[in-house]
Structure 1
Amino acid sequence: MAAETSPFVTYELKGAVAHIGLNRPEKRNAMNDRFVDMLAGAIARAENEAKAAVLFGHGDHFCAGLDLAEHVEKTPFEGVRGSRRWHAVTAGMQHGTIPWVSALHGGVIGGGMELAAATHIRVSDRSAFFALPEGQRGIFVGGGGSVRIARLLGVARMSDMMLTGRVISPDEAERWNLVQYVVETGVARDKAHALAAIMATNAEISNYAIINALPRIQDMAKEDGLFVESFIASFTATSPEAEERLRAFLDKRVARIKPPE
């Protein structure tokens, strides 16, 4: 399917993988309320017609975060409503029905980090840099970062970035668990697509369980998590698709796992 362009967001279906592009390059893809609403529509479309999705940024940067020119004009309650809208939209990715991979390059700043943290796998190229400058701006994260980013980095490292304005490199981001892959400049989207294409071949019920059960189990007490795990494991393993895939493995119709090269 050819790419479709609307203000702020592009959409393209490549096989079973939807590609959603942040498309406000003149503002480093900074997001305002209209941008968030258009992103919500693209996410809903991908959920309906794709089996995996890639989120990327057009231009020189992934996303510089919140459009501060719009934000500074809001009342406190308007700010709350905007934040809760971000939460709802990003939850559509994190707790949806398909896996999401973000391709990161250039600035991944503030709300851009929050947006990337809502995807399930993050691929960074070597041009990327990561920052949370909220302390210097006199604001606080409002797009889910206090939950998602803190769970990835840990509170101490996130506090460091917010309090000092520290900017980290892709290699630091990988060591800190913010990103899972680091690739050469210019190929993050290709790598993200390759990963998403693999995910698209998984059993849909397994993908759903992985992206929805794992983060919830992490929030549970140990024994509660193990109890829930038993039900999820039993439910997925007894599905018709699981039976066919397991029989294919037992009949040696699929390749066995090999050591990495």
Structure 2
Amino acid sequence: MDDVVNPASYENLELTERPGGLYILTVNRPSKRNALNVATIEELIRFFSGARQAGVRAVVLTGAGDHFCAGLDLIEHWKADRSPDDFMHVCLRWHEAFNKMEYGGVPIIAALKGAVVGGGLELASAAHIRVMDETTYFALPEGQRGIFTGGGATIRVSDMIGKYRMIDMVLTGRVYQGQEAVDLGLAQYIVEGGSSLETAMEIAEKVAQNLPLTNFAICSAVSHLNNMSNLDAAFAEAVVAGVVNTQPAARERLEAFANKTASRVRPNS
């Protein structure tokens, strides 16, 4: 698992370790606006397949240069002239990468800037928290390109903003920015006059202090539970709570609460 957190083992991703098990993972193809090629997807699969086992407590995901990610590397796709079968399997690898992110149990905070477009929005939607800045814009231009979403927009983006808004984005190429994007659910935080990376780091540092098993439940079980019927989800939630809420480390934190030495929830000042 040491290879998972070894920066030298990646060519298209830049990995930076911070104290406390926190890592910054940067899609490092700025000349392509960080468009995702096959090699980058494979590196994402490798990292997120082993991140939890390697002791990663939280990940800040961002892009090099001025943009987060402009989606599928259309030049690579055009040059490859793939068969339907070949491209179906490319899409399945995208799903593998993004499922490892969403269900892997390690909190992922996306620091968004510039283009979050097409497959870049699909990548961002696989993160658990999204922070945007004033330069960030969201779009699904597949309709204008003569193609169709293949990395989960019909699943995650439609879940975030609603089926018909997602359809509208693909049909018309509609672009969302600013507070409107937050209000729709494309991001949870917007930073005005500052850096989305800095705010994402602050959030990641906070969540990395949670117990790993608790974070695993939050960042994996919630998605699984939402895929179930209400009756099955209620049972599964009780099972997860039974395991998580009785872990020894949780008892220590509950004791601190009982002794009034733990911090209390207070309204924002």
Bucket of the pairwise TM-score, normalised by the shorter protein: over 0.9
Which residue of 169, 190, 203 corresponds with 2:198? 190
Spell out the pairing of 1:206-245 with structure 2 (5 A cutoff): 206-245=214-253
Q: Which residue of 2 aligns with 1:56?
A: 62
Does the CA-based 8 Å contact 1:86-1:143 persist in structure 2? yes
Does the CA-based 8 Å contact 2:102-2:223 persist in structure 1? no
Determine what percentage of the aligned residue pairs are the same residue.
Answer: 41
**Paired residue secondary structure (1:257):** coil
Mean CA deviation greater in 137-146 or 105-114: 137-146
Does the CA-based 8 Å contact 2:24-2:61 persist in structure 1? yes
Q: Which residue of 2 aligns with 1:180?
A: 188
Q: Which residue of 1 aligns with 2:82?
A: 74
CA displacement, residues 49-78 of structure 1 (integer Å, 9 cap, x when unaligned): 320001000111100000111212211111
Q: Which residue of 2 aligns with 1:22?
A: 27
Mind listing any 5+ residue stretches in structure 1 that lack a counterpart? Answer: none
How many residues end up aligned between the 2 structures?
Answer: 261
Which residue of 240, 244, 250 corresponds with 2:258? 250
Q: 1:151 to 1:34 in 2, by over 3 A?
A: same
Q: Which residue of 2 aligns with 1:43?
A: 48
CA displacement, residues 156-193 of structure 1 (integer Å, 9 cap, x when unaligned): 10011001110110312111111000002551011111
Write the distance in 2 (CA, Å) between the matches of 1:185 and 1:139: 36
Q: Which residue of 2 aligns with 1:9?
A: 13
The CA deviation at 1:225 is 1.7
Write the distance in 2 (CA, Å) between the matches of 1:2 and 1:230: 38
Write the distance in 1 (CA, Å) between the matches of 2:113 and 2:168: 22
TM-score normalised by L of structure 2: 0.92
**Paired residue secondary structure (2:69):** coil
Mind listing any 5+ residue stretches in structure 2 that lack a counterpart? Answer: none
Does the CA-based 8 Å contact 2:49-2:104 persist in structure 1? no
Amino acid of the structure 2 residue aligned with 1:207: N
**Paired residue secondary structure (1:10):** strand
Q: Which residue of 2 aligns with 1:125?
A: 133
Amino acid of the structure 2 residue aligned with 1:109: V
Which residue of 24, 31, 36 corresponds with 2:36? 31
Write the distance in 2 (CA, Å) between the matches of 1:71 and 1:3: 27
Mean CA deviation greater in 38-47 or 183-192: 38-47
The CA deviation at 1:10 is 0.3
CA displacement, residues 63-94 of structure 1 (integer Å, 9 cap, x when unaligned): 00001112122111110110000111111111
CA displacement, residues 116-154 of structure 1 (integer Å, 9 cap, x when unaligned): 000000000010000000111111111111111111111
Write the distance in 1 (CA, Å) between the matches of 2:181 and 2:244: 33
Write the distance in 1 (CA, Å) between the matches of 2:35 and 2:177: 20
TM-score normalised by L of structure 1: 0.95
Mean CA deviation greater in 117-126 or 231-240: 231-240
Does the CA-based 8 Å contact 2:28-2:64 persist in structure 1? yes
Write the distance in 2 (CA, Å) between the matches of 1:216 and 1:6: 30
Q: 1:36 to 1:100 in 2, by over 3 A?
A: same
**Paired residue secondary structure (1:49):** coil
Q: 1:6 to 1:185 in 2, by over 3 A?
A: farther
**Paired residue secondary structure (1:30):** coil
Q: 1:20 to 1:185 in 2, by over 3 A?
A: farther
CA displacement, residues 205-225 of structure 1 (integer Å, 9 cap, x when unaligned): 111111111112222222222
Q: Which residue of 1 aligns with 2:112?
A: 104
Amino acid of the structure 2 residue aligned with 1:174: V
The CA deviation at 1:4 is 5.7
Write the distance in 2 (CA, Å) between the matches of 1:74 and 1:186: 42
Q: Which residue of 1 aligns with 2:149?
A: 141
**Paired residue secondary structure (1:127):** coil
